[in-house]
Amino acid sequence: MRFQQLLAALRSRISLRLAIILAVIFGLTVPAAVLVPYQLNTIEEAVRSKNKDDHERLVGILSVILSEPLWQITPEIANISSEVVYSDPRVASIEVITLPDRKEFIKNDTRRHTQKGPFTSKTREITHGGQVIGEVRLTLAEDLLQESLRSDFRRYMTTAALSLILAIIFILMVLQWRLVKPVKILMEKSDRLANGELNEPIALNREDELGHLANSLEATRQALQHSFGELEIKNQQLLEYSGTLESKVRQRTQELESVNQNLEAALHNVNNAQAELARVERMAALGSMVAGVAHELNTPLGNCLLVASTLEEETRRLLKMVEEGQIRRSDLTRYAETALDSTKLLLRGLQQSAHLVGDFKQVAVDQSSAQRRRFGLLVMLQELSALLHSSLRKTPFTLELDIPADIEMDSYPGPLGQVFTNLVNNSVIHGLEGKSSGQMRCSAERMGDYVMLIFSDNGKGIPPDIVNRIFEPFFTTKFGQGGSGLGLSITFNMITNVLGGNINVSSIPDQGTQFEIRLPLIAPGDKESKDPLLNPD
């Protein structure tokens, strides 16, 4: 606590000039203290890398120029050839041995005893005609490297220090000329303005920020002069109007109460209209689903009818043969096989129809009401996807589910199913319109007491100028073409008001759209509620 008080006292006593000087010094010295070691390290790494590359290059040169003298066993020529490399003052010694007997061929290390090191050595094989005939070892001393680094360090530090001092001096001069002195002038004039001395104009002949500040102070001075004049007039008018103030307040209060009542009635009507729109939208989706289910049932039931008529015809034929006494064992066997195959086909078709009717029954109950129950998210969406398959089968688009089987919810499957249906229809009608192929994908991930649903498509996306308006009621890009503009608005209201979640949308033009829906596993509200759409509170 005392340290904070001391720090506050120091801050209050630091003048603008001292603060600028400290800021300039610290602003230049701190980056320099960080960058100078880094730059020196970079220089050292570059020098050492160059020294290493030179080492590799020199030992490579030796392995080439000594190949022929070593093959012809002429040490004199080898010594003369190696002088080209030994002339480099960094070279401490050159040693060449023959292989495979590993005998010394030449050795030149006359300079090594005068060098301090440290020393680094590299060895390279000497080949002739594809055969390894010897080995050369080149040792370099780092004396010159260390001296070069020390020289670079002194030169760099001197340059950095001079640059820092000159930069500080130049910046302080500019700040004194362009900032500190004009600020003092403005402070004096603002003090007179605060004391009520409004007759002296405030002017600073500059076009920079301080000039604009001076102009603003001048405008403030003129406005204060004007305001004080108007204030005197208003005070006089206020005295005149004070007699009728009470009656005006009473009249305004009555008008506000009337407007408030009208607003409450309008809000009630809007809530009723919203609930009715949600109900109509659910029933419209249910009607579309009924047509799809009827179309799906037509194929298996037609197959069952065809198989049943065939089985009936075979049975009549068998009875006729029995009555005429012409039945044979082969006829009975053929009839039994036909009856068995027909029974299998009938069972398969009827089971498919029963499964479809069961899915439709559950979804129909959920869609036509908003009853709350426990359900598995994967099973509910699979049932709904199976019923949507009939309409998607007529399009080149596919729907993929990636839902973990262990996610269970205590919520409202009807509104959730309506949300899923609206998103699918929105992608088909808007996102994937005109494309020869397309994919829709719905995935889910459990996050504590919530589940994150992600619905995406790879369609044409939503333009950036309308992406923030898609949840507005009656907003549609297909006005007059069958679009009502209510689908995503109802989706937003169901998610936020009924399911207790939130929805976000992101889209990239020509790459698709993604909806992120965060829902609680246990929906808010009374668990005994029968219709949360009509009673969202």
Tens digits of residue pLDDT in 284-300: 555 555 555 565 566 66
Q: Please tell me the least confidently modeled range out of 26-30, 106-110, 287-291, 319-323.
A: 287-291
Burial class (CB in 10 A: 0-12, 13-18, 19+), 533: buried
Among 225-234, 380-389, 440-449, 474-483, where is mean pLDDT lowest? Answer: 474-483
Indicate the range of 242-246, 255-259, 265-269, 352-356 predicted with least confidence: 352-356
> Residue 476's pLDDT band (boundaries 50, 70, 90)?
confident
**CA angle, residues 157, 162, 166, in degrees to nearest 5:** 150
Q: What is the mean pLDDT of residues 135-151?
A: 79
Give the pLDDT mean for 29-53.
77
193: Cβ contacts below 8 Å, ≥ 6 apart = 202, 217, 220, 221, 224
* Nearest residue to 129 via CA among 211, 68, 59, 53: 68
User: To the nearest whole number, what is the mean pLDDT of the chain?
Assistant: 77
| Confidence (pLDDT) at 519 | 95
pLDDT bracket for residue 12 (50, 70, 90):
low
Beta-bridge partner residues of 106: 96
Contact 296, 363 (CB under 8 A): no
pLDDT computed for residue 154 by the predictor? 79
Q: Kindly indicate the confidence band of residue 368, based on its pLDDT and cuts at 50, 70 and 90.
A: very low
Does residue 449 have a pLDDT over 90? yes
Cα separation of 477 and 17, whole Å?
Answer: 61
- Closest by alpha carbon to 327, among 339, 319, 316? 319
User: Per the structure block, which two tokens stand in for 159?
Assistant: 């340059």
User: Burial, 516: exposed, middle or buried (Cβ in 10 Å; 0-12, 13-18, 19+)?
Assistant: middle
Q: Which of 159, 237, 221, 278 is nearest to 532 (CA)?
A: 278
**pLDDT for the residue 250:** 75
Neighbours of 178 (CB within 10 A): 13
Q: Please give the torsion angle defined by the CA atoms of residues 196, 199, 204 and 210, in that order, rounded to the nearest 10 degrees.
A: 30
At residue 274, the pLDDT reads: 59
In the prediction, which pLDDT does 482 show? 46
Give the lowest-confidence range in 124-128, 255-259, 446-450, 459-463.
Answer: 255-259
**CA-based angle 444:446:449, to the nearest 5?**
135
Of these ranges, 57-61, 255-259, 367-371, 448-452, the one predicted with the greatest mean pLDDT is 448-452
pLDDT in tens, 68-120: 888 888 888 888 888 878 787 888 888 888 888 888 888 888 888 887 778 88
- Give, in order, the Cα–Cα distances in Å from 192 to each of 17, 185, 204, 217: 22, 11, 15, 11
Helix 245-324 vs helix 413-426: crossing angle, to nearest 10? 90
The per-residue pLDDT for 404 is: 94
* pLDDT tens for each residue of 174-223: 777 766 777 777 777 777 777 767 677 777 666 666 677 777 777 787 78
pLDDT at 31 over 90: no
Mean pLDDT value of segment 151-162: 78
Confidence grade of residue 515 (pLDDT, cut at 50, 70, 90): very high
Predicted confidence at residue 367, as pLDDT, reads: 47
| Predicted local confidence at residue 517, as pLDDT | 95
Q: What is the pLDDT of residues 404-419, one digit of tens each?
A: 999 999 998 888 888 8
Number of Cβ atoms within 10 Å of the Cβ of 458: 19
Mean pLDDT of 516-525: 91
Q: 286 in helix, strand or coil? A: helix
Q: What is the mean pLDDT of residues 502-527?
A: 89
Top mean-pLDDT range of 109-113, 330-334, 355-359, 381-385:
381-385
More confident residue, 79 or 23: 79
Query: Worst-scoring range by mean pLDDT, 32-36, 154-158, 476-480?
Result: 476-480
Helix ranges restricted to H, 195-328: 209-241, 245-324
Write the Ramachandran bin of 137: left for phi over 0, alpha for psi from -120 to 50, otherwise beta.
Answer: beta
Instruction: Give the confidence band of 363 by pLDDT, cuts at 50, 70, 90.
Output: very low
| pLDDT of res. 506 | 92
- The pair phi, psi for residue 168, each rounded to 5°, is -65, -45
Instruction: Out of 6-10, 338-342, 504-508, pick the least confident.
Output: 6-10
Phi, psi of 188 (to 5 degrees): -60, -45
Least confident of 221-235, 237-251, 377-391: 237-251
d(CA 283, CA 383): 18
Cα–Cα distance between 144 and 274 in angstroms, integer?
86
pTM of the model: 0.38
pLDDT band at 518; cut points 50, 70, 90: very high
Query: Which pLDDT value is given to residue 536?
Result: 47
